[in-house]
Structure formats: C-alpha cells, structure tokens
Structure 1
Amino acid sequence: MPVQPLHICTGQPADGRNKFFPRTKIINKIWRKLDRGEDLLIVAPRRVGKSSILRHIERNPNDGYFVKYISIMSVDSANAYFKKIFKSLLEDDEIYGFAKGYMTNAGKAIENFGKKIRGIGLEGIELDGNEQIDYYVETIELLKSLPNEAKKIIFLVDEFPDALSNIAKYSEEEAINFLQQNRDLFQEYGELNIQFVLTGSIGLGNVVEKLNRKDIMNDLTQIEIEPLSNDDAKDLIDSLCLGLNKIDITLIFNSASKDYFLQKLTWNTPYYIQMIIDELVDDEVEMVNQEEIDKVLDKIIKARSHADYFENWRDRLKKVFDEEEAKFAIEILSHISIKDSISYDEMKKMNEDIVLKDLLEVLKYDGYISENNQVYQFNSPLLKSWWAYHVAE
C-alpha cells in the first residue's frame, strides 16, 4: 500500500485521516477478537499510539457496532465512572435517539433517563448533580432499555488502571467493588449487547494485584501494542515528508539517513519520530544527514521546549508509586542512565525493603525499561540521555 501524506501531530492523539498512521495489523486483530464477543485489555507502553488507535476505531466502526471512546484518567470514584458511561449513551443521538424512537413506537417510557439531563454545556450534556443517583444502576437500566435489534455497543475505556488506582487511594473496598461491578457488566449482563476494551499506560495487573483480587479481571483477552517496526517507522517518515511537501516544506531522507535516524531512536514510537522531524523542520533542514540528526537530538535533550514532556516521565512515578517506591525508581533509572544497565542483584542490594518485582513490572509496562536475562536498560536512548542530563546526580 503506497504511503499517504500525513501532518505532524505531537500534541493530542493523532486523530483523522491526515494525521493517523495506519496500524492495520493491530486494528484487524482487535476487531477479530471483538467479533468473537471478547472483552479486551489493551497492553501498551506510553506513546506507542494506543489512544490514536482507539480514536480511529471509534471513528471507523465495523458494521453492526456503535463505538464509544471514554478517557477516565482523572476519575476517582466508581459512581463518577458510570456517570461518564451513562452520559456518553445519552449524548449519542444515534444510540439514545434509536432507543427513544423504539420505545415510543412500543408504547414504553424512556423519559425517565432524559430527566437526568440538567442542561447543555460546552462539554455536552450536564447531568443532575444529585449525588444520591447510583449511575451503575442507571447505566444498567438504560442499556436494558435498548432493543435487541440495536447495534452492539463497544466502550473503549482509556486509562482504566489510572482510575482504579485513584479509587483505591480513597478506599480499597470501593476499588474492589468497582472491579466487581465491571466484571458483572462483562459476564452477568451478557444480554445487554455490550463489550468493553480497557486500556491504560500503567499495568492493570499490578494495580489489581495490590488489591489482592487478580481473579476479578482474569477474563479479559490481552492484546499488546508494540512500537513501530523499522519498516513501518520508515513509512511514517515518508508519510510525514509527503505531508510537509504538501505545504511547500522540503525535508528529504535518503536510505542511509533513515537507517541512522532509527538506529539512534531504537524505540520507534510515533511520538518520538514526529517530535524529531518537527525539530528538523524548525531548524530549516532540507537534506537530512547524520550531523543534522545528532544536532537535533542534542537540542531535544537539553532544550526547555520539550521539558514538560520528559518531566512527565519523572513526575508520573510519584503518581503510581508511594514516596519510597518513587524515590527508589528514580534511583534505579538514574543508575541506568549513567551506567547503561543494571542487574536484578544490584537493585536488590540497593534496597532490600521494597518489593522489587512489582516495581519493575510497572517500569516495564509503562515503557521506561526492558529486561534481558535479569539485566535492565532504558527502552529509549532519547529518554535515557534526557534522564542522565536532567535527573541523575
């Protein structure tokens, strides 16, 4: 398939035909599993394009499906989560309008759900602020009201582990109950004609294990999203150069400069590729060579313009770990950034009080490090160099 021109997108998820780089193999795999009626857990490190893939699936559903994308990173209660689900159903004219028309023709009432709407704001409908409303129950009832001939609804729930972690900080009991409610939706309410795809940038298994209830979520089918292969990464480079050409900007890679680019990058995430190409354009480079690539990489590592992105990697550790764990994780990553790698035994000697297995699982799942024969190193040389320059003492 010939490459198509794409616009550089380094902010929000790459959404739309002129921004999204096709990930046909993984998208087809997701749909095959959904067609079999499976609920899914998408396993993906940060910045590999997970949210962009979900957005593409939402905008390009297969026949017979409604697809709803919901990001819940900031959710901190079970009721807030189900309120988002409930709201997404009411806001969708095709879903709610279809149900309302069907119920009217059938002589049944659906107005009760509409009464929860208080008004229309900039972010869509505004629901009744009554904290006593149980939106899990309301969501079940609304889904039950949908006729059997309605399309199947797929909920793409982004950052599910973050929400679970937020809830657990307030109450582990509520977090466990929240997991059970979701499992009931997956299993007990099969007649509701719904499926779920859960994703996140921290491992759901690690969060659930801390609650000692891994049994609750073990029915999800797991699908991994990897960084781009070298061939796909080269196609993305070509697509971005074609997109630049459309707006009269010349950026030319030959075969050798592409190989060098990917050799330096190693961790082929769409975000890193686009960030580097954007910097090459800002420096008004036309013919890309090794010297220009090295200069831009050095600039990215040292410049303040990308500080927020890289600092988020450090700050995130304080969110997913307690204070002592976060401090030790930073110490491990700082060691690797200077020494290139660290062994499991070395880490055990550094701190014997922390459960190392759980900490390393989070760092691996979230995309910081990888392991080979119990030796750990950064996935991204770019992040490694930034860490050594700005964090390591």
Structure 2
Amino acid sequence: MKTNWKSPDIIIGKEATGKFYYRREVFENEVWKEIEKGNNVLLAAPRRVGKTSVMKYMTENPKENYKLIFRNVQGIDDEKRFYKTIYELIIFCLSKFKKSKTLIQNYFTKMKISEITTSGIKIETKDIDYLGEINSLIPQLDKDGENIILLIDELPEVLHNLYLKDQKETALNILKNLRHWRQEDGFRKIQFVLAGSIGIHYVVKTIAGRSSDINDLYKITYQPLDESEVLDYISTVTKNASVQYDEEKILHIKNKIQYFVPYFINLMLDEIDKAAIKRNDPKITIEHIDEAFNAIIKNNDNFSDWKKRLTDYLPKEDFSFINEILTHISHKDQISIQNIYDIAVKHNKETDYMDFIKDLEQDGYIVENSQSYTFISPFLKEYWKRNNPIHNA
C-alpha cells in the first residue's frame, strides 16, 4: 500500500463526534427552538440517522442559561439505578449553575457531595431516596435561573428491560414520573430531549396499553440527508482522501443506496476504500462501487440489529405479522394495501394493522409509494431477502 494513503474521515459503529460529525444545523436549531419555548422533545428518527451525534454536539455547544448533559441509559434494568442516574445528571448540571449558588452549595454540603464528574458523583450520604430528592430539589431552583436539559438516549431499552423482568409497574411508574416532571409547574427548570433507536411508541403501548403517556412530547423527525447534503457530505469526508469521487461516481452511489443515512454512505465509502487499498490503486470505477455494495449486503453484521430490535421489543405474534410483511416486500419488491390486509386477517390484526405499518415507516424500514409499500433501503431489502427465504419466491 502507498505509504501516504488517506482514508475518508468517517466512523462506523459509533456515533460521529468531533471531526466525524456532519452538522445538520436545521435540526439543531429546531430542537433549540422547542427547548427555548419550554417544550420537552422526542427526537424521532430511524436507526443510524445520526440523532445521538446531534444530541452530543448540542451538549458540547450549549446556549447561554442552559446546562446540558447527555446519557445513554441503555444498560439500566433497575428502578433505583434509573432514578440515581437522573439524579446524578441533575447534580452535574447544578454544579455548573451561576445562579441559585447558595441553595446548591448548601444542598451539596447537606448531602456530602464531594466529587462531581460527567460519569458520576461521589456522595457520602447513604440510602438516598433519589426520586424523593429530585422531587424536593427541582422546585426550589430560581425561576429566573438556568435550565437543566437532560438528553436521554435509549429510554425504550430501560422500559423494555423492566418489562421483561416482570416489573411492568416499575416501568409504568417511570413513565408516570417522567410525565410529572414534564408537566408540573414546579419542574419548569428541567426539560428532556428523549430519543431511541426504535419507536418509543412500541414499548410504551406494550407496557401501558396506550401511547398517550408520551403525547405531550414535541416530536421532531430527524430526516436522512437530502440530495444536496449527500453531495456535500461525500465531498466533505473525502476531501483529503486518496479515493476521490466525481459526479458520476457519487450519482451511482446514491442510486445504489437510495436511503441517505450517513451509516449506509459510510459503509459504501469504507468498503470502496478497503478494496482500493488491496489493489493499491485509488482510481475507482462503477464496477468497483457495485462490488462494494454486493460485499456489504453479504455481511449480516451490518444490518442484523434492525431485525433484532423488532424481535426484542415486539410480542412474538406482532413480530410474526410484521416479519411476514417485510419478507413479502423483500421478495416481491413491494406490497399492496390489500396484501397487507390479507396478512393482517391471517394474524388477527385487521383492526390495527395500519398502526404497525405507520411504525415501520417511522422507524426507517419501509416507505409508501403509490398505494403500496417498499423497503426504504436496498440494503435492508437484500438483508431480509437473504435471511427469510421463500420457496419458489
């Protein structure tokens, strides 16, 4: 390999931060606009679109009078640990406040809090009622002081973990307390930006029997890149790379991907780059792009999480219904409303089958196209086809 080979500035598998973060100021500004109105936000986005990167960027670049902290709560499966996490995030934000300093310092002294970092706090007080402390502390804050903004990723995972442990009431209580904090006047100084890798409505409806417990959240849909952004994104991340892309090559990549989330684009750029390194030749052709696409779809690790999320979160009978629809689309290229209804009848879902379709659209699996539905991504279509064979399909 040439010693001066330069790969594109992309990252796969982790959220994009620093030089890897591609700013989407329109969405950043939309979230800030709602925060400044006093709203709590649900950042609705399919997997791999980049919502976590946006949340982290906002945390690192706060506006005046707002103290932000981000936390992925995915691994929490215990009620006390959940409230402890929220409490510690609040304490970290309070430690940065310029107002309410006397109140905060007195509270820290009373609780014997001696160390505060983004990863946790050191506290000598034992047997703390974290929920009680939150409910007591927040209403005391100066109404003209700074606001605490907690950006919480993967809340659905916490609720689902509790549900699987037969702790439905605990999950319901968390939903109730989150709603209480969002709606009561005494808690105006704390706001939430919630996000998750799969529609939170799936989980809330399973636990509570309805999704109204989150209907007060202001929903912002974080979209994939548009046509102009794709061109700018590829140009930006490959600016100093050995492999360069002219307009024809970028157009072909767009035609292969169709659904422009950074993750899919990065998979292509990375696979093309790796093959070019093996050839020790930075020049690429249309055939090289096709070869990269074919290599990517053969690697189940790239897309298995899309199916795993459905199997993890949905009841078995619901997943069976959805999987039959997705399998049909993968082999037939599309599915009509009538076909969907016929499958719904088969699975006893004829009363609410379109709710499932709406969720699949929202979570970035399918898209409506002239009274029928297709996979939004050729990558996902080929993955489902390979992993759900149909005899004589």
TM-score tier after normalising by the smaller chain length: 0.7 to 0.9
Aligned partner (choices 338, 346, 352) of residue 339 of structure 2? 346
Deviation at 1:75, TM superposition (A): 2.7
**Residue 387 and residue 110 in structure 1: after superposition, are their counterparts in 2 closer, same or farther (change >3 A)?**
same
**Residue 174 and residue 128 in structure 1: after superposition, are their counterparts in 2 closer, same or farther (change >3 A)?**
farther
1:67 aligns with 2:68: yes
Give, as a single letter, the amino acid of the residue that structure 1 aligns with 2:168: E
1:102 aligns with 2:101: yes
TM-score (norm 1): 0.85
1:143 aligns with 2:138: yes
Q: Would the aligned equivalents of 1:113 and 1:142 in 2 still touch at CA under 8 Å?
A: no
Deviation at 1:135, TM superposition (A): 1.9
Separation in 2 of the partners of 1:48 and 1:239?
17
Deviation at 1:346, TM superposition (A): 1.5
**Residue 318 and residue 146 in structure 1: after superposition, are their counterparts in 2 closer, same or farther (change >3 A)?**
same
CA RMSD, Structure 1 to Structure 2 (Å): 2.9
Aligned match of 1:40: 41
Q: Would the aligned equivalents of 2:51 and 2:222 in 1 still touch at CA under 8 Å?
A: yes
Separation in 1 of the partners of 2:8 and 2:250?
17
Aligned partner (choices 256, 261, 266) of residue 258 of structure 2? 266
Once the two structures are superposed, what CA deviation does each residue of 1:178-207 show, in whole Å capped at 9, x if it has no partner? 222111111214455111111112223343
Q: Would the aligned equivalents of 1:340 and 1:377 in 2 still touch at CA under 8 Å?
A: yes
Deviation at 1:127, TM superposition (A): 6.5
Which residues of 2 match residues 146-295 of structure 1 at below 5 A? 146-148=141-143, 150-169=145-164, 170-210=166-206, 211-242=208-239, 245=240, 249-284=241-276, 286-295=282-291
Separation in 1 of the partners of 2:274 and 2:331?
30
Secondary structure (helix, strand or coil) at the match of 1:110 reads helix
Deviation at 1:65, TM superposition (A): 0.9
Deviation at 1:148, TM superposition (A): 4.7
**Residue 224 and residue 104 in structure 1: after superposition, are their counterparts in 2 closer, same or farther (change >3 A)?**
closer
- Larger deviation: 60-69 or 371-380? 371-380
Secondary structure (helix, strand or coil) at the match of 1:283 reads helix
Q: Would the aligned equivalents of 1:202 and 1:362 in 2 still touch at CA under 8 Å?
A: no
Once the two structures are superposed, what CA deviation does each residue of 1:128-149 show, in whole Å capped at 9, x if it has no partner? 897x643221223343454455
Q: Would the aligned equivalents of 2:325 and 2:340 in 1 still touch at CA under 8 Å?
A: yes
Aligned match of 2:305: 312
TM-score (norm 2): 0.85
Deviation at 1:123, TM superposition (A): 5.2
Deviation at 1:349, TM superposition (A): 2.4
Deviation at 1:229, TM superposition (A): 0.2
Q: Would the aligned equivalents of 2:100 and 2:141 in 1 still touch at CA under 8 Å?
A: no
Separation in 2 of the partners of 1:318 and 1:30?
31
**Residue 287 and residue 360 in structure 1: after superposition, are their counterparts in 2 closer, same or farther (change >3 A)?**
same
Aligned partner (choices 333, 356, 360) of residue 357 of structure 2? 360
Q: Which runs of 5+ in 2 are unaligned?
A: 1-6
Secondary structure (helix, strand or coil) at the match of 2:385 reads helix
Secondary structure (helix, strand or coil) at the match of 2:76 reads coil
Deviation at 1:209, TM superposition (A): 3.3
Q: Would the aligned equivalents of 1:344 and 1:374 in 2 still touch at CA under 8 Å?
A: yes
Once the two structures are superposed, what CA deviation does each residue of 1:290-322 show, in whole Å capped at 9, x if it has no partner? 21110100011124xxx3231112222211112
Give, as a single letter, the amino acid of the residue that structure 2 aligns with 1:271: Y
Aligned match of 2:4: none
Give, as a single letter, the amino acid of the residue that structure 2 aligns with 1:75: I
Separation in 1 of the partners of 2:99 and 2:147?
17
Separation in 2 of the partners of 1:54 and 1:379?
25
- Larger deviation: 50-59 or 165-174? 165-174
Deviation at 1:23, TM superposition (A): 0.2
**Residue 330 and residue 218 in structure 1: after superposition, are their counterparts in 2 closer, same or farther (change >3 A)?**
closer
Q: Would the aligned equivalents of 1:228 and 1:269 in 2 still touch at CA under 8 Å?
A: yes
Deviation at 1:61, TM superposition (A): 0.7
**Residue 172 and residue 101 in structure 1: after superposition, are their counterparts in 2 closer, same or farther (change >3 A)?**
closer
Q: Would the aligned equivalents of 2:67 and 2:96 in 1 still touch at CA under 8 Å?
A: no
Separation in 2 of the partners of 1:121 and 1:38?
27
Which residues of 2 match residues 111-126 of structure 1 at below 5 A? 111-114=109-112, 124-125=120-121
Give, as a single letter, the amino acid of the residue that structure 1 aligns with 2:354: K
Separation in 2 of the partners of 1:230 and 1:78?
44
1:300 aligns with 2:300: no
Count of aligned residue pairs for this structure pair: 374
Separation in 2 of the partners of 1:208 and 1:291?
46
Give, as a single letter, the amino acid of the residue that structure 2 aligns with 1:111: T
Secondary structure (helix, strand or coil) at the match of 2:95 reads helix
Q: Would the aligned equivalents of 1:45 and 1:365 in 2 still touch at CA under 8 Å?
A: yes
**Residue 205 and residue 327 in structure 1: after superposition, are their counterparts in 2 closer, same or farther (change >3 A)?**
closer
- Larger deviation: 177-186 or 268-277? 177-186
Aligned match of 1:51: 52
Secondary structure (helix, strand or coil) at the match of 1:74 reads coil
